[in-house]
Amino acid sequence: MSSDDNTDVNRTTDPTVLRSIIEDRDGYPAHVPKSEGQGDQGLLRVGFGDADEDLKEISWEEFREEFEEKNLAGVYTDDGSDIEGNQPVVLRKRDDVDTEA
């Protein structure tokens, strides 16, 4: 994970808090098309604007259920700067985020 050294990276496991953060950054909940598996709707992602037009938007309820089921955490910065590439919010396994803290 890389971000500006002067920017604090935050983590949340609360899907309601994460929804507010994503919406504040004009994002939406989504799946990666054609990533479905047996009993799985696909890779859960956060989309932002036209750059992510290949993602399939899903409901916030679906997002919340999968976020909890897949044991994910949201990683973001207070100022909305990018975490990885051009993404202001990324999803990670909670176990992976715990080891980075």
CA atoms within 13 A on the CB side of 73: 17
Residue 50 clears pLDDT 50, i.e. is over it? yes
Give the mean model confidence (pLDDT) for residues 55-62. Answer: 92
Closest by CA to 62, choosing from 29, 20, 14, is: 29
* Residue owning tokens 């994503």: 22
Residue 76 clears pLDDT 80, i.e. is over it? yes
Each residue's pLDDT tens digit, 19-47: 999 999 999 999 887 766 555 566 899 98
Residue 3 has a pLDDT of 41
| Residue boundaries of the structural domains of the chain | 9-100
Residue 29 has a pLDDT of 94
